[in-house]
């Protein structure tokens, strides 16, 4: 398959979002409404234009903040996009990509309705700023396969609604090789066949607009590599997604994998590094068998010694399998993390120990992947 992208909380407890037995209040519905189409076209003219070139390894961090907030809240108070200083930092560390979480509900306040003009403007502008620094942006609707607490396939939200969302977003960045479309963050608590239908519908909707951008397709159950082969009603991720279809033949599978005792990314130490690597080896073999590529959208740990050693092992393993893995983004930097133990955000200009471990992989001279 063709892979074409190029180089480029406040007071939050020790947690990693929606995990089993965890709760989240990060669901804010932005106010206002306007049609996206005309506005998007006008804004896109101002975006940076880049020709497609070699397949560059996408290596960087998640820049969290756009997905923060409660059920109500304003920009700059409940949620935030990366600052210029944070983007400068990412570029200065020779990262080539950032994964940018945001909320489906904020961009599209009503299912099948028009996009919110203010939120779309913010999203286009942060992409423009990142692209201008040579950073590929992976757009990440950080919703766990739900919309306003309504789980896809279990209530009023359907695969058609999900397809409508992507039919409006895809044209905004169509043809920009420095923008990658991540279909959905960590689908969970959803039937495997239901998620496969929605993923295929989203991918088809993107291609129907004429957009040929790289698309990242996640699996069910938190996108976990460790869950790829799990038995589910309707079939495992491995069984279902070997049949994914893309008319542009430009997609990769997105996996997440943590190293703590339950693979959740919510614990202070990383005792399961070897098990996590085995999970990556398993999906690597599956992708090699079927001729697919992969992207590791989330992994990370605290500054505990076993976590730092694990980050190094992850970087080394993924570099050794660069024919399959097109890159990765570690979890997570962002301006509002405060003392969150997994934060990768620099402290007064000083890099976190986790970033110091990852730097050699950012700066790897052999940058070709896939």
- Eight-class DSSP state of 285: H
Phi–psi pair at 178, nearest 5 degrees? -95, 15
Q: How far is the C-alpha of 146 from the C-alpha of 153, rounded, in Å?
A: 9
Residue 94, CA distances (Å) to 83, 134, 265 in order: 17, 9, 25
Helices (H), 170-304: 192-208, 237-241, 273-290
Does the annotation count 72 as an active-site position?
A: no
186 is catalytic: yes
Q: From the candidates 105, 186, 197, 313, give the one annotated as an active-site residue.
A: 186
**Which residues, 6 or more positions from 234, have their beta carbon under 8 angstroms from its beta carbon?**
191, 192, 193, 194, 196, 240
Q: Is the dihedral of CA 149, 155, 161, 163 positive or negative?
A: positive
Distance (Å, rounded) from C-alpha 124 to C-alpha 36? 11
Cα–Cα distance for residue pair 159/202, rounded to 1 Å = 8
**Distance, CA of 362 to CA of 59 (rounded, Å):** 6
Among the listed residues 146, 254, 298, 313, the single catalytic one is 298
Instruction: Point out the residues that are catalytic.
Output: 186, 298
């Amino acid at each position: 398959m063709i892979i074409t992208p190029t180089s480029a909380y406040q007071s939050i407890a020790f947690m990693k979002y929606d995990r089993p037995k965890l709760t989240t209040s990060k669901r804010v519905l932005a106010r206002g409404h306007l049609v996206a189409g005309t506005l998007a076209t006008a804004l896109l003219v101002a975006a940076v234009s880049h020709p497609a070139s070699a397949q560059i390894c996408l290596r960087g961090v998640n820049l969290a903040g756009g997905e923060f907030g409660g059920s109500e809240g304003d920009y700059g108070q409940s949620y935030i996009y990366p600052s210029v200083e944070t983007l400068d930092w990412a570029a200065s560390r020779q990262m080539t990509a950032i994964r940018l979480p945001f909320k489906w509900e904020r961009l599209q306040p009503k299912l099948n309705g028009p996009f919110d003009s203010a939120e779309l403007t913010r999203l286009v502008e942060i992409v423009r700023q990142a692209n201008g620094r040579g950073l590929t942006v992976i757009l990440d609707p950080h919703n766990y396969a739900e919309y306003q607490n309504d789980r896809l396939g279990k209530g009023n939200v359907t695969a058609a609604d999900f397809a409508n969302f992507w039919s409006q977003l895809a044209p905004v960045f169509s043809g920009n090789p420095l923008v990658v479309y991540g279909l959905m963050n960590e689908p969970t608590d959803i039937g495997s066949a239901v998620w496969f239908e929605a993923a295929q519908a989203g991918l088809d909707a993107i291609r129907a607009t004429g957009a040929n951008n790289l698309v990242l397709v996640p699996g069910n159950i938190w996108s976990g590599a460790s869950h790829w082969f799990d038995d589910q009603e309707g079939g495992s991720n491995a069984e279902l997604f070997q049949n994914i279809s893309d008319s542009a033949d430009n997609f990769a599978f997105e996996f997440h994998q943590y190293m703590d005792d339950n693979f959740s990314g919510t614990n202070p130490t990383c005792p399961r590094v070897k098990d996590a690597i085995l999970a990556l080896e398993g999906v690597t073999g599956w992708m090699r068998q079927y001729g697919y590529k992969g992207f590791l959208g989330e992994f990370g740990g605290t500054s505990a010694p076993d976590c730092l050693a694990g980050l190094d092992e992850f970087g080394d393993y993924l570099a050794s399998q660069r024919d399959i893995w097109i890159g990765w983004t570690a979890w997570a930097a962002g301006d509002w993390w405060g003392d969150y133990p997994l934060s990768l955000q620099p402290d007064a200009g000083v890099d976190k120990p986790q970033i110091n471990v990852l730097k050699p992989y950012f700066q790897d001279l052999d940058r070709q992947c896939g």
